[in-house]
Structure 1
Amino acid sequence: MMAEFVPRSIKPKSLFSKMLTGFLVVIVLLVTFNFVTSIYLKNKIHDEIVKYNELSINHTVEGYENHFRLSKNMVLGLNQNDRWITNLNILRKVKENNGYASIEDIKAELKTLYANPFLQFENVIIYFKNDAYVVEKDGTSSAQDMFGKFYRSPDYPLSFWNRQFEERIGFRVLPASRFTEKSAGIETSKGLLLPMLMKPLPYNDMYLIVMLDAQKLFQIHNISSDQHFYILDPDGHPIYTSTPDMPIEPLSAFDTTGQPVMKGHYYYFFRKGQETGFTYVSMVPTESISLQLIRLNTILISLLIVVALVSIAASVVFSRSLQTPLRKIIDSMQAWDTGEGQSKHGPIREFDLISHKVNQMMQTNKSMTQDLAHKTSLLRKYALTNKLKNIHMNLAELREMADTSMPFMILLFEIHFKEQYAELGIDQEKGTYYIREFIDSVLLRSYEESVTFQMERNLVLSLIFTADTEQGSVNQPIDYLKNMFDIEHDLYLVTMAVSPLYPASSAFTTAYEEMTQVIKQRKLLNLTQVIHGKQSIPEPYPFTVLMEEEFHTRLMSGHEEAVYEWVAKHLEQLGKRGAPVEAYWQFAKEVSLQTDKSLQKLNLHGQRGSGIVKPSFHMLSGFYSTEQFQEWFAALLQPVIQLVREHTEDQDPITRFVIDYLDAHLHEDITLDLMADKLNITPGYLSTYFKEKTGMNFSDYLNDLRIQRAKLLLDNLELKIQDVAAHVGYQNANSFIRMFKRYSGITPGEYRKKYASRLSVE
């Protein structure tokens, strides 16, 4: 009778009671485990915090020691450079040697040091005793100005730096100090700097000062930036302190065992550096460790309570939410039952019934799967046939339809219709459709599983599914297709790319991308081409600076024969290389680009579109002979040559004289006054007149002409930079370098290095 008053859902054998009991047992075990673990680990936490701080100081010491060693090696490593040593010897007596030119070379070498973001060099200063001056990143200055104005510090007056010449030291890290710069009565801070003094042997009249950014070093090499930290030298003097006025313990307070020391309100963690002998000390407040322990205990206890309460509540809710739908499922299953008795094999009868029904469904599913397996091939065939009705198809959909269990090959056909085909009056879309249908019919004779699609306007794709691992069997239909296409090659040209055999359709995307690259290797031939497998991509035909200058010169001459001869020469070289059509197309684009640049130099680019129409680039992809490219270049260049010739004929005698004189006397010292004197006119009038006629200032035209001529001379690797400067009218090499960088964006040396490989190819 009592059982009737117990709700059905919480009976001992019900699903709800079993699930709730299981959840509660797991919760009790987890809470007990966490509680015991927290008690056990409580005593270990203090040791772990101490260990963490010991690892932190070890990391800091290793970072500082490596940084000092690397800085020392990088600076002293300059002495391995013979050019560096030669320049130093010149600058040691700069006035006597008149060696001011060597200063730029020294600055360039120093730039590699302070420009390195990992070294944290604020500046590198070389102090020369004989002439009492320094060389640093901003140039040169007297020692008095350097240490009295630009790097002022009460700890490091000029007298201190002068005394260092008498010290017999090779390397020394000096205590950090705050440096300022005083200029025009305004004093600005340079921050806290850590000077590092290096005296390379065997010099006694010069040494180097590396200004390290002390605060950045601290931020980089310290794990906890909020701790107090300081560095002591071997004599116990502070080298650096992270915060001012911190309590500093003497070296005697630290024993040789390296164990942390507690004094007052701080734990002192310390280590001694092997490279410098410095002692690195990290101060951690004792309150910080105690607070961490208390906070951790509070968090653990709170978490245990919250997790226990939430878990119990979640167990009840989850058990109830799972019980309700399962109860309904059971009721439905019982309604479907035939009424035959079911044997109970477990403590929960609901699971027994679900198991019985699942077994029935699995048997049904198995029968259905076997039946569908026989229909899979037929369904795929119907799906592919249905897709044939759509000419342009989605590549992702095609991949989904591919049979993942069979190897496959890809045949990619690119079709280019000739002018004779247009005379027949047949639309090219229809022509591609007819060719696709013909390809499909030929391949289906040998491969029943093959399908053919039109991917683009002139691109047809065939998929051949075959279990035959030998690739030779596909050669017969390909040869047949080639012979048929050859018969009608006067109407259209077909290029076929034949892929290797791929094991499964998972590689379909990769295979298609590879074949689209292979099809681009079509040669400039008037016949059907078959390209098998992957092809090595030929080296691109370089359009060098020398080619640009030669083309510009011939174009500006206004002689058609000279320009067409240059184009024919390079088309012949492309043919000898066996270049694909795409390489010819890239060459045509470069020529068109250089044509526009040449017109811009003459301020004629705005007239390019006046009645002059560029031939289309789109037609280039279908060309199959050099003659077609020559006709295209003629259509591109003939109007331009005519425009240049008309411009040249319209030039007045004054402008013509100036341009011819500059071209012939470029190596001389030419000025606006000189040209005005030769023309017996005023410089102001000549400047205005020349700008009006050419669109450029006289000085800009002269410098641009010199730089363009210098680029040609730099192609000759046997000429020195100074020789090139003299040939184009710059008597001072530094002026030449500065002007070259202004007009070209890079120095002559960088220009020569950048284009050296291209010149060697040419």
Structure 2
Amino acid sequence: MSTSIRWKFKTESLFARLLVSFLVIVVLLAAINLWSYGLYQASLRNEIIRYNTTNLDNMTESFEKHFRLINELVQRFYFSDNVQLLNKKNIDYNIADKVRHDIQPTITNPLLYIDEMFLYFKDNSLILRKDGSTRADAMFNRFYQSPSYPLPFWQNQFQSDKQFHIYPASDFTEFVMPGSAPLPKGKLIPIVIKNNINSYFYITVLINAKKMVDTYNPSLFTNFSILNEEQQPIYTSENVSTGMNHIDFKQTYVKKGHDYYFYKKGIFSGLTYVLVASDKSMSSQIYMVNTTLAIIITTALALSILASIFFSIRFHRPVQQMIRSIQQISPLPPLRSTIREFKQLNEQMRQIVTANLKISEDLAKKTSFLRYYAYINKLKKIYHTNIEEMQDLALEEGPYRLLIFDIKFKPHYVRDIEMDTQRAMYYINEFVTHHVSNSFSNTHTFQIENNQILSLIYTKDNEALLVTTLETIRQELNLDHAYLLVTMAVSGQYHRSTQFKDAYEEALGLIDDRPFKDESLILSSPKKHAEPPTYVFTASEEHELDTYLHAGNASALLQWFTGMLERLDKKGAGVRDYYDLGKQIINRIQMSLLSSYAHDKLVQRTSELYSQLTECYNVNQLTHFMNLLFVSSATTFKQKLDERDRITSFVIEYLEHHYAEDITLDSIAEKMNITGGYLSTYFKEKTGKNFSEYLHEIRIGKAKEYLLQSNMKINDIAMKSGYQNMNSFNRMFKKLTGYTPSQFRQSQSAPFNTVSDVAP
């Protein structure tokens, strides 16, 4: 009988009910996971095979569409009238410029991954490319040089009958100047596209292999290759053709040794696309997945059971503690529940009400607590109101001191620590409060600024204990020296509450005058000087700064600044004075930049420079920061002294004197011993105009002078201005002036006639 009563007593326990409920949920979830795990394991290998097959189908379709699109875009050039006119010994560079302009949109399309596209003319050995025209020997020995594709290879392409042929990828390089180190162009796939109708030239496209393969091959677990019809690699990440002597395209994959070969042949190009997956890798992945899932399920089950017991105990224990702390009172109406603890809580509820009434009476009597809260509230007003309002706080008997803990968070903290600084200040405040209150009785510690904590202590004869306590706090906080810089200022000993403001200002003064060192310090003795050591520039020093700055002499600026630092050091300056010097220099430099060049970007960064200045914690860091500022500022002034460079000046001067001649970008580049592509980019960057645009502007400007100042025929003016073709001259003249040459001459001779009044 007694055994059954004890069993019923245990099963009615809140702990037992909670534990059983948790375990039922855990077992149910474990059963569901095991069932799902069995289904997943059965289909994993087949899913990997289907994934690779589908992935290869998508890649093949993408590559084939890409090759077909390139073929269609290139074929249209075979029917261009301008291209056919270039098959002459004497090259018409105006027509060549038109053709080059036509091929630019195709080359610059980022979705085609074309690095270069050129037309190779057989009779005149002309290569027409995106940056201009050149000869075949210069093209393949200088601009696109590859050991796999020398000049004879490209010459032999005229004898090939293949209309669309993709050659294996190879590394190409460019020699910018003779004797210079080669510049890598990357691994490129040559595609030769021909047309039987126009056999006197052919077109080649160089595809960036890595960009194209990275786009169309999203697989992260396989090796990829492209093979031609002879099973030779066009592009490969590994030699995947090993073990594949014959490919049966009736199948989608084949297993050779420990490898799975997934392959598919392209309909348009005839290329074979191959993905290789190791069987060992598959088995290893499946085994790892199985092992991982088994460990996860076992661990989760064990943790769930332990968590069930833990939370059941945690929930049950407070209820037991409350029951033991409640005294017996008159019973309330019974509660209908099978849980024993709830019944007991119901029985003791009246006593809780009575206890609450007693607590309310006690609160009314304990005026000391109310006074304490009012005291703390007044202390916090130091951050919001005048410091004089705190003079009535030092009410205790005996001497007192004020401690101010100034915390500076270094840049490493913001970069490395996820906790915001306000939350960090909360923990530092708790840490300081703990140590100060353990050493001294009746202390008050609270945060007065975003980065400052104040403690009011009554020291009496415990000066040695104060030093020990502060040193302990300093050593603990110094463990985070990489993230924090702590300054502890200790005011002198005061006895009257009316001196509270003096103590506070003394401690703040110690912080402002702290030595300029990157270390946590305890400061207690204010410095004595007749006047503030704040640095003020003399007239000669300001003149030296401006002279060195406008001359762009960074080394002289640094030497001048070093002299300023020595002067501050002799005066015994504090950290505030070093920052004042840095701010004056920043302001002076920014004003010079604004007044000289209206350099808005630098002027807008003044607040950012101030912030970086205050992140310097010793003389070396300050010197390094100012040196960087001197170098950048001096460079700005120096660059303004010589804005027109040698290359741009030479090109402009040459065009002014030789505009009537047959001028090309490559011919001028050759005179300067640089490449045409480099000159084109450089000239555009410096002048804001393309080379051809600038040349046309000069020629049309000269033509306008001839039209207004002479009676020459328009044909002669076109020839004299550098145009061999009248159509080109008329089109360019109207594009730049809005008139035809004849309309321009008539409108200038009869200024009151409108354009519509002039006969074409």
**TM-score, length of structure 1 as denominator length:** 0.43
TM-score, with normalisation over the residues of structure 2? 0.43
